[in-house]
Amino acid sequence: MTTETGTLFLHPDRNLALELVRATEAAAIRAVPFIGRGDKNGADGAAVDAMRKFLGTVNFDGVVVIGEGEKDEAPMLFNGEHVGNGRGPACDIAVDPIDGTSLTASGRRNAISMIAAADRGAMLDAHTVFYMEKIVTGPEGIGVVDLRQSVAENIQKLAKAKGKPVSEMSIGILDRPRHEGLIEEIRAAGAGTRLLLDGDVAGGIDAASYEGRLDMCIGIGGSPEGVATACAIKALGGLIQTRLAPKTDEEKQKGLDAGLKFDHVYSADELVKGDNTFFVATGVTDGNLVGGVRRKGPIIRTESIVLRARSGTIRRITADHLVEKWLDDNELAGL
């Protein structure tokens, strides 16, 4: 299909992810001066502005189906916002300019900037309910692990499927007061916990990766992160299941009014339909998934990961950017 302005594609094509990674690179770079400065909203605001600017240059018609920020009044790319130049494939996107704002503000590991994309109408719009229960594993968990089973049963079954003793199982979980009971159950089952300070997207990808350090990632985290993680898990061939976890009756009613299902376990295909999904992430700070932004003389170096479900490909991209093209003199002290 063609127009006077060029070719229009009905679906996201293979080059889209390589365009989107420019936006996550920009967001990560702009967040660097805020690392360790204790200002998570400042970091998020800088990353949002940079991501929005670069998304505007991409040949696609994107709609933010689910974004980050509403639950803590932080800066955000808002739900329903149109991004891109309007030409090219029509897409749903899930964004988090910084997954790990607290990590960034405190100078800790594993903060990333990420975008997930799929065909228009493919993503579950769960923005009315901010949190969901999640369980993520690699391919060995398919048909074995189920969110409706006890934690101990899931660990035991997955250990058997992976051919390793329970004592060697590593379970990732956000370090939150709400998870105290779940942490005790994991340890009582004989497995070890890896407490995540923030960023369960990276934790989920780690659990689904064949070279990851985690065997499973579990617990309650953000709904935007759940949808984005599903895009990545489809490329990795792993398992993700989620169940909405409203904090109030009012929030649950908003979800019901929006057509969401409660006491229902959402599969990967319900979180995002089809296999034409992309996931891109750039490191803000160093982490297990990707390295953080580094200043090397006159350049800024970024490390990104690009996952495409249709082709099952995982690309790692290291890019060097001239400092003078990105930052003014007042910002260089942060690099």
Per-residue pLDDT of 2-18, as tens digits, reads 333 334 444 555 578 88
Across 1-15, 227-241, 317-331, the highest mean pLDDT is recorded for 227-241
Domain tally for the chain? 2
260 lies in the same domain as 147 = yes
Instruction: Note whether 264 and 320 are same-domain residues.
Output: no
Give dist(CA 257, CA 171) in Å, integer. Answer: 35
211: containing domain: 131-271
Annotated binding site for Mn(2+): 44, 68, 96, 99, 225
pLDDT for position 71: 44
Looking at the fold, whether 181 and 263 belong to one and the same domain comes out as: yes
Together in a domain, 55 and 143: no
Q: Name the DSSP letter for residue 217.
A: E
194 and 296 share a domain? no
Backbone angles phi, psi at 165, to 5 degrees: -70, 150
Q: Are residues 27 and 156 in the same domain?
A: no
pTM, 2 dp: 0.87
What band does 257 get if pLDDT is binned at 50, 70 and 90?
very high
Q: Is 172 found in the same domain as 106? A: no
- Residues of each annotated binding site for substrate: 99-101, 131, 176-178, 198-200, 222
Binding-site positions read 44, 68, 96, 99-101, 131, 176-178, 198-200, 222, 225
CATH number for the domain spanning 206: value is 3.40.190.90
Pairing of strands 170-174, 192-196: parallel
Residue 53 placed within a domain: yes
Nearest to 292 by CA among 116, 113, 172: 113
Q: Which of 67, 24, 48 minimizes the C-alpha distance to 224?
A: 67
